[in-house]
Chain A
Amino acid sequence: MAVSSSAQIRVVAQDPSVRVDGRILTALVSVPVEDAREGPTGHRVQVIDYDATTRTMYARARPLDPADPSDENIMGDPAFHARNVYGLVMATLARFEYALGRRVAWGFPGHQLKVVPHAFAVANAFYSPDSEALLFGYFDRGERTIFTCLSHDVVVHETTHALLHGLRGRFLRASSADQAAFHEAFADVVALLSVFSMREVVQRLIDHYAGRGSRASRKGAVSASALQPDRLKRSALFALAEEMVPERDPGGIGALRRSVDLEPDQNLLNRLEFRDSHRRGEVLVAAVCHAFLEVWVRRLQALGTDMVDRERAAEEGAGIAEQLLTMAIRGLDYTPPVDLLFGDFLSAALTADTEVRPNDERYHLRETLLSSCAAYGILPASGTPDGCWRRSDKQLRRTGVRFGSVQSDPTEMFRLIWANHRWLRLPVTAYSWVSDVRPCLRIEPEDGLPVRETVATCIQHVKITAAELGDYGLHPPPGMHPDTDIVLEGGSTLVLDEYGLLKFEISNRLPKRTDENACKRAQARLDYLFESGTYAAGSAFRGRLAAVHRLRSTQTASSRSEVW
């Protein structure tokens, strides 16, 4: 008898405010089978249900219970909440591992992420790297209690922060306005597109929102006119954290974020209000959402001009979201390891997708994403017409390097890099280390053939004072003291093929007097860091994610040169 490799857990589909036929919408999600214990506790997730406000430790919950709970149980049973977060975290982890073709580690030494579904009576939820934990708060609104742990979007969003930290640890550091925004944007993209993986949920939401007030001539079909972009945009499908908003629009869906409402504008990122990381992140989210919507509507139009089968509509949505989400996650492997700009991510995602899925005839997804991003002022960093990184034409010297080891051993990989530092233009005087080496196995969707790659990241830094910036072609921002300690960073991602040949070298190098582009980029980073207070005493980024969630637009850009 075949043994299933996945189990199913019932979760709240979006959050308790999204109801169909008067009931909270739930869904089954698949999680990898494991020897899960009470908590639930498994090999990657440990739910610890402690409430700091009431000083209560709830009993450990049984790991699996796919029964359809009543609304009362959903709201009033902490064990359901514990299973809800376990299920969503594990499903998100599995999604990442599928896309990347390998196991994904958390960004801390342990293997189990702690998840606290009722951490405190504070209206916030965040990933704490120091505590190796996701913490979900709750708060009262009138007679109701809002549990952030019951929001699909919030749980997936926070889980993505933890996964991204494991994949690209340095993206949590201050570097540029784009990088500060990227964590938020990427987490939003994953949360939004993940909803589409629950097809029955999408079907019911299409019925509920797009079908509302429209003509439905036969069971299972909705009017094509109801599936127009504007109506779909207004649905819960494109809203994040619906329940967090106290005042809803009378006729629509309130939400913490509705990035899809952001109209395309090539100058958006230059505007002052879009320097705030959440607002800036919304621009990238809007570009991805619009690309998705454009492709989906195109597919729906092909299904008919009068009535559209809702199952088919949901299936098309799921298929497109699946590809787009996989492209986004896979793209992480093709990003430079430091100082990310949105344009880097765009090129990375397009390249990653092209490598595994060369034929894009069905959806024209890459072309649509490229044009959608351009409409929001996000241009591929590669500068190529298709937006993909240029393939490397370098033949690495491999004398003395063992190919078997280079796929997984950082020391062996560093030997390869050292032997080729001239080719790779990596200065040997900088402190350098290989931060990650991962063999990956990805499956080409059309022919099912494996694509094997090795992805390695090498990071370099030099520590200097502001007075020495001139040696690197940089100058201190006005007001910076010459004794200020500065760390200049550079980094390269090397993607090797199954024979160990270099396919891509994606670098943001250390600045060098003779490299105008690197200097320009490093100077922008330095100015941004100074302006945002990174060089102020005591500034720390460990608590940044919690603060970012809290401070949406409540803070404005303050000028470093004006404070004491």
Chain B
Amino acid sequence: MTRPAPIRVRIFVYNVGFGDCILLCFDYDQGRSRTVLVDFGSTQKAQSGAPPSMNDVAREIGEQCGGKLDVVIATHRHADHISGFAGSSGAVISGLQPEVVVQPWTEEPGLAVDATDSAASSPRAGNRKFTARLDRLHAAAAQVLHQIPRLAATPGVTASLTNELRFLGETNIKNAEAVKALQAMGDRHEYASFGSDLGLADVLPGVGVEVLGPPTLAQSPEIAAMAASDADEFWHLAATADAVPGQPSVRDLFPGARTARRVPQEARWLVPRIDKMQAEELLSLVRILDDVMNNTSLILLFTIGETLLLFPGDAQLENWSYALQRAPNSADICARLSQTRVYKVGHHGSLNSTPRTMLWGGFARAGQVDPAERLITLLSTRAGKHGSESRGTEVPRGRLVEELEARSELVNTQDCRAASGWWREVVVPL
């Protein structure tokens, strides 16, 4: 018997500030729908007006999915992608009784159990070490957050520096409550890597869901390099994580040592510089952590007939490059991706999450004038929270946004306001 196929896709993109929250509704004949929630998190609320709370968004999702979610996807562990799954908003989502929860392989609970399995050399042991290391990186972020009040009160440390530290620190903490809520949700969990079969044929009839990332350690030398088994690779971060969050980070290093009552004249030029360098050091550490976590992000390709919807979470180049360059079937993947109809812009529009030539340059629908053929792009972001224009790292990246506006039908959550509704609905006929 031929499986039914969707007749259209409705995509709801919610303005959750700096975060991702997208609902896919696959509509079939006779008014039936199947629904997929891709991420549900925020770290900075939307600007101006009366931005919705995550509870409001959860209730809205409940209405739009008709009280039932079929699949929940948490692309990676960053707070701006999963924070909503915690607390009361998470309870609302859980109440929608999703059947399947899909997460990257790095989230598989059993993997993180044995953090010191140094004797084993199997791929699974390597994976365990990697996830254990990720746990330590989360702890480092928590430790950095703990130091922010003191840094904020330090002359020479600018507000923009502490704001960025706070933002990245909050994004990268473990989000334990949300992780736990995701584990408790759904009848079935899939922890996916490149090439995984998610077994969604019955849940989403007529919809192919292909996992293009993240690669496993065995597949990708880049990811493997980040997870290298030598303990030294992350020693700076690991050392930061070793300090226990919650304990005072300022302690008497040398009890009873003689101290100077005031900064001597010869040190006055240098002392504010040392203060500033300390804050910069911490910021550099959490930036590394942020990149590592982004590269654990799921990259999913939904295929309905000839219509392709591409959802890469926050994947950066190292994650992308396996599917686009080194996988045995990368040429085939690139050829199919060229026909992408809907592209969820990676990592809120950062400079290195939409590979410029390998991916964007191949989109055949980019630049098409006919609305029925033109590429649709979904950008969930909030400017001014991440990176800086002077360094060319602002999010969203100006050059990328210009290109999206010029060559695609751009849906930008920053344009969703109270007056016009905090979400946009995009209908893709099939």
Q: How far is the CA of A339 from the CA of B343 in the complex (A)?
A: 43
A392 within 8 A of B: no
Shortest CB-to-CB span from B268 to chain A, Å, is: 10
Most B CB atoms within 10 A — which of A52, A78, A133, A558? A52
Q: How far is the CA of A76 from the CA of B281 in the complex (A)?
A: 25
Q: Which residues of A contact B399 (CB under 8 A)?
A: 564
Mark contacts of A273-293 with chain B using CB atoms, 8 A cut-off: 1 yes-contact digit, 0 otherwise.
Answer: 100000000000000000000
Mark contacts of A535-564 with chain B using CB atoms, 8 A cut-off: 1 yes-contact digit, 0 otherwise.
Answer: 011110001001101111111101101111
A141 within 8 A of B: yes
> Would you call B233 and A135 a contact (CB within 8 A)?
no
Q: Which residues of A contact B36 (CB under 8 A)?
A: none
A120 within 8 A of B: yes
> Would you call B388 and A538 a contact (CB within 8 A)?
yes
> Would you call A244 and B235 a contact (CB within 8 A)?
yes
Q: Which residue of A lies closest to B350 (CB)?
A: A564
- Per the 8 Å Cβ criterion, residues 12-32 of B in contact with A are none
- On A, residues with C-beta under 8 Å from B are 41, 46, 48, 50-60, 76-79, 114, 116, 118-124, 128, 130-131, 133, 135, 137-142, 145-146, 244-247, 254-257, 272-273, 479, 536-539, 543, 546-547, 549-556, 558-559, 561-564
> Would you call A561 and B356 a contact (CB within 8 A)?
yes
> Would you call B260 and A537 a contact (CB within 8 A)?
no
> Would you call A552 and B232 a contact (CB within 8 A)?
yes
Q: Which residues of A contact B260 (CB under 8 A)?
A: 57-60
Shortest CB-to-CB span from A130 to chain B, Å, is: 8
> Would you call B278 and A139 a contact (CB within 8 A)?
no
Q: How far is the CA of A123 from the CA of B238 in the complex (A)?
A: 9
> Would you call B281 and A50 a contact (CB within 8 A)?
no
Q: Which residues of A contact B152 (CB under 8 A)?
A: none
Q: How far is the CA of A59 from the CA of B271 in the complex (A)?
A: 14
B3 within 8 A of A: no
Q: How far is the CA of A130 from the CA of B269 in the complex (A)?
A: 12
> Would you call B233 and A554 a contact (CB within 8 A)?
yes
Q: How far is the CA of A124 from the CA of B236 in the complex (A)?
A: 7
Q: How far is the CA of A60 from the CA of B399 in the complex (A)?
A: 52
One of B57-65, B96-104, B245-253 contacting the partner: B245-253
- Also in contact, A54 and B258, with CB within 8 A (given A41-B266, A120-B278, A554-B234): no
Shortest CB-to-CB span from A317 to chain B, Å, is: 26
One of B285-293, B331-339, B369-377 contacting the partner: B285-293
Q: Which residues of B contact A50 (CB under 8 A)?
A: 263, 267, 270-271, 274
Q: How far is the CA of A128 from the CA of B278 in the complex (A)?
A: 12
Q: How far is the CA of A99 from the CA of B272 in the complex (A)?
A: 36
Of the candidates B240, B258, B262, the one whose C-beta lies within 8 Å of that of A123 is: B240
B231 within 8 A of A: yes
Q: Which residues of A contact B254 (CB under 8 A)?
A: 58, 76-78
> Would you call A558 and B250 a contact (CB within 8 A)?
no
One of B87-95, B194-202, B219-227 contacting the partner: B219-227
Shortest CB-to-CB span from B133 to chain A, Å, is: 11
B205 within 8 A of A: no
- Also in contact, A553 and B226, with CB within 8 A (given A50-B274, A245-B232, A563-B351): yes
Q: Which residues of A contact B277 (CB under 8 A)?
A: 52, 119-120, 128, 131, 135, 546
> Would you call A52 and B317 a contact (CB within 8 A)?
no
Known: A48-B270, A50-B271, A546-B277. 6 other contacts (CB 8 A): A78-B257, A118-B253, A246-B235, A247-B231, A551-B288, A562-B352
Q: Which residues of A contact B270 (CB under 8 A)?
A: 48, 50, 114, 116, 131, 133
> Would you call B232 and A257 a contact (CB within 8 A)?
yes
Of the candidates A116, A131, A547, the one whose C-beta lies within 8 Å of that of B284 is: A547
B159 within 8 A of A: no
Q: How far is the CA of A244 from the CA of B258 in the complex (A)?
A: 28
> Would you call A562 and B358 a contact (CB within 8 A)?
yes
- Also in contact, A562 and B267, with CB within 8 A (given A116-B274, A139-B242, A272-B221): no
Q: How far is the CA of A123 from the CA of B243 in the complex (A)?
A: 11
Q: Which residues of A contact B243 (CB under 8 A)?
A: 121, 139-140
> Would you call B275 and A52 a contact (CB within 8 A)?
yes
B5 within 8 A of A: no
Q: Which residues of A contact B238 (CB under 8 A)?
A: 123, 246
Of the candidates A52, A54, A58, the one whose C-beta lies within 8 Å of that of B251 is: A54
B344 within 8 A of A: no
Q: Which residue of A lies closest to B252 (CB)?
A: A54
Q: Which residues of A contact B121 (CB under 8 A)?
A: none
Q: Which residue of B lies closest to A46 (CB)?
A: B266
B158 within 8 A of A: no
Shortest CB-to-CB span from A270 to chain B, Å, is: 14
| The 10 nearest A-B residue pairs measured at CB | A123-B239, A537-B392, A538-B391, A59-B258, A120-B278, A139-B239, A52-B278, A564-B400, A57-B260, A556-B222
Q: How far is the CA of A556 from the CA of B239 in the complex (A)?
A: 21
- Also in contact, A537 and B358, with CB within 8 A (given A120-B274, A550-B285, A555-B288): no
B354 within 8 A of A: yes
Of the candidates A57, A120, A139, A145, the one whose C-beta lies within 8 Å of that of B264 is: A57
Q: Which residue of B lies closest to A147 (CB)?
A: B253
B367 within 8 A of A: no
Q: How far is the CA of A79 from the CA of B116 in the complex (A)?
A: 38
Shortest CB-to-CB span from A85 to chain B, Å, is: 15
Q: How far is the CA of A563 from the CA of B358 in the complex (A)?
A: 10
Q: Which residues of A contact B355 (CB under 8 A)?
A: 562
Shortest CB-to-CB span from A262 to chain B, Å, is: 12
Shortest CB-to-CB span from A547 to chain B, Å, is: 6
> Would you call B118 and A247 a contact (CB within 8 A)?
yes
Q: Which residues of A contact B116 (CB under 8 A)?
A: 247
Q: Which residues of B contact A142 (CB under 8 A)?
A: 242
> Would you call A273 and B274 a contact (CB within 8 A)?
no
B318 within 8 A of A: yes
Q: How far is the CA of A559 from the CA of B264 in the complex (A)?
A: 48
B228 within 8 A of A: yes
Shortest CB-to-CB span from A129 to chain B, Å, is: 12
Mark contacts of B56-95 with chain A using CB atoms, 8 A cut-off: 1 yes-contact digit, 0 otherwise.
Answer: 0000000000000000000000000000000000000000
> Would you call A53 and B278 a contact (CB within 8 A)?
yes
Q: Which residues of B contact A479 (CB under 8 A)?
A: 356-357
> Would you call B257 and A58 a contact (CB within 8 A)?
yes
Q: List 15 A-B contacts (CB under 8 A).
A: A57-B260, A59-B260, A114-B270, A118-B253, A119-B274, A123-B236, A123-B240, A124-B236, A124-B281, A131-B273, A131-B277, A256-B235, A539-B391, A554-B237, A556-B226
Q: Which residues of B contact A245 (CB under 8 A)?
A: 231-232, 235
Of the candidates A79, A119, A133, A543, the one whose C-beta lies within 8 Å of that of B278 is: A119
